[in-house]
Amino acid sequence: MDDGNGKTKREVRQPYLYEAILSFVFLIFVMALGIAKFEAEPHIPMLIGTIFAAIISFKIGYKWEDIEKGMFDGIYQALQAIIILAIIGVLIGVWLLAGVVPTMIYYGLNILNPTIFLVATTIICSITSLATGTSWGTAGTIGIALMGIAKGLGIPAPIAAGAIISGAYFGDKLSPLSDTTNLAPAMAGTDVFTHIKFMLPTTLMSYIAALIIYLIIGFRFRGSNADMSSIDMIQQGLAASFNISPFLLIPPITVIVTIALKIPAIPGITIGIILGAIEAFIFQGVSFGQVLDASYAGYISKTGVEAIDSLLTAGGLEGMMYSISLTILAMMFGGIMEKTGQLEVIVNTLLRRVKSVTGLITATILTSLASNVTMPEQYISVVVPGRMYANAYREKGLHPKSLSNALESGGTLTSSLIPWNTCGVFMTTILGVSTFQYGRWAFFNYFTPILVILLSGTSLVAAYMTKEEKEKAEAGELI
């Protein structure tokens, strides 16, 4: 086409389905190759996939300015999530320094009882994961100690591992400190507190069902005795390194209250940071400089107990840069795919036979599961399907929290059930049990996505936007 100045103007066209699929196939290939074969972090494979998507966009007819704007628009949509991730890093560092997280773990370990070991194990791992926001950290520390106790009680390792993983992922799924719990609402278009509140009913249903089954199984091992020395050692190490007090539970309780009062995430988390810093001065006698250091570089635990030091050396703004940088790169890819219509042509093809809300939510969960299988990294199973289906949910009038709930259920929870996924590999390595062995005992991890699909026709899973919320969503605002 001639632009009137003697120059040929490139014509932008609708991408062909094979071109859009090629962008995704290449991303899947490079992610699988990088993570599974070379054990690389997902960041650079994601960047390579983004470059390839840009090349396809050139082929379609887009100029660099358009592609660049697509990347910027994608990143802009995730800015609130990036800010929240940053201040959560600060929160974790401060709460560790103040003894808030150690106090939660200390009291959690008090409920361990050999006669209800599996139930107690699930609850303990839930508390630890809620307090730290990490399923990996929970399994790699408290989980290892509990595996040792299970052996002494004569409880099969696969069953114990299933209970540990169920508890660890329950806490991870509901913790505002978790990176995936922040990524899911960011991809969907809502905030972390709205996301957590909406997930709560179905999550608790699955959790309670899992606890009941663990209780029934546990009756077989009633009356057994085991060496509790490893748990005692952790508690003694915590008590020796921190002033443990019920008053240190005030910051997390306050954050929970802010969620209930619908206070926005950023000020709500900031209140938690301020209270944590005040209690760090009062209970641990630290200086303002130590608070600043922990806020930026995280807390470094030096108790001398390996299990404690491994779990509690975390947090800080610097520690969140892994998740923040991956979010930026993933949103660059998603932004290009969205701007150039590649995402639209794929989703339209997938949804051509999906007429109902139940079908859409089921498709989201299955896509997240497929992502865990083909791009073996749980972050990607939240990010990519999130960008794929955001518009489809909006067009059906569904609140973004319906999408974020489906992403967590299908993405975060199934990651540890895939043997070659990074989460499955980690859990197998740490707990010494293969995914095929512990998978069927990790009840919570597969109960939840099944329950979400079964209840997808109800308001517990499919929430609709009000007129005002629709206007905000169309304006690109989080709701």
pLDDT single digits (tens) 344-370:
898 889 888 888 999 999 999 999 998
For residues 463, 466, 467 and 470, what is the CA-based torsion angle, rounded to 10 degrees? -50
Q: Which helix (H) or strand (E) segment is 392 a member of?
A: helix 378-395
Distance CA 32, CA 41 (A): 11
Q: How far apart, in Å, do the first and last CA atoms of the chain sit?
A: 43
Supply the pLDDT for residue 82.
83
Residue 227, pLDDT score:
65
Task: Determine the 3-state secondary structure of 376 from DSSP.
Answer: coil
Q: Which residues contact 477 (CB under 8 A, 6 or more apart)?
A: none
CA–CA dist 419, 367 (Å, integer)? 18
Q: Which two three-digit tokens encode residue 93? A: 């560092």
Identify which of 365, 350, 376, 356 has the alpha carbon closest to the alpha carbon of residue 450: 365
Contact criterion met (CB below 8 Å) for 176 and 270: no
Torsion of CA 168, 170, 175, 178, to 10 degrees: 60
Query: What is the spatial distance between Cα 78 and Cα 327, in angstroms, rounded to a whole number?
Result: 8
In sequence order, the β-bridge partners of residue 8 are: 2
CA distance linking residue 376 with residue 91, whole number of Å: 29
**Ranges under pLDDT 70 in the chain:** 1-10, 113-114, 152, 222-227, 376
Cα separation, 405 vs 113, whole angstroms: 33
pLDDT of residue 219: 83
Interval 175-209: pLDDT, tens: 988 888 988 998 898 988 899 999 999 999 999 99
* Dist. CA 230–CA 67, nearest whole Å: 55
Diameter of the chain measured on Cα atoms = 90
In one-letter notation, the amino acid at residue 110 is: N
DSSP H or E segment with residue 263: none
What are the φ and ψ backbone dihedral angles of 299, each rounded to 5 degrees? -95, 135
pLDDT for residue 226: 62
Half-sphere exposure of 295 (CA within 13 A, CB side): 15
CB atoms < 10 A from the CB of 278, how many? 15
The H-assigned helical ranges of 313-458 are 321-339, 342-351, 357-374, 378-395, 400-407, 422-431, 435-438, 443-454
Other residues' Cβ atoms within 10 Å of the Cβ of residue 201 = 16
- Partner residues linked to 299 by β-bridges: 314
- What pLDDT is attached to residue 467? 87
Residue 464, beta-bridge partner list: 398
Element containing residue 446 per DSSP (H, E) = helix 443-454
pLDDT digits (tens, 9 = 90+) for 55-101: 999 999 999 999 999 999 888 877 877 888 788 889 889 999 999 98
Cβ neighbour number for residue 219 with a 10 Å cutoff: 11
What would the two tokens of residue 408 be?
């967590």
Residue with tokens 């699929």: 21
Structure tokens at 106: 């200390």
Q: CB atoms < 10 A from the CB of 466, how many?
A: 11
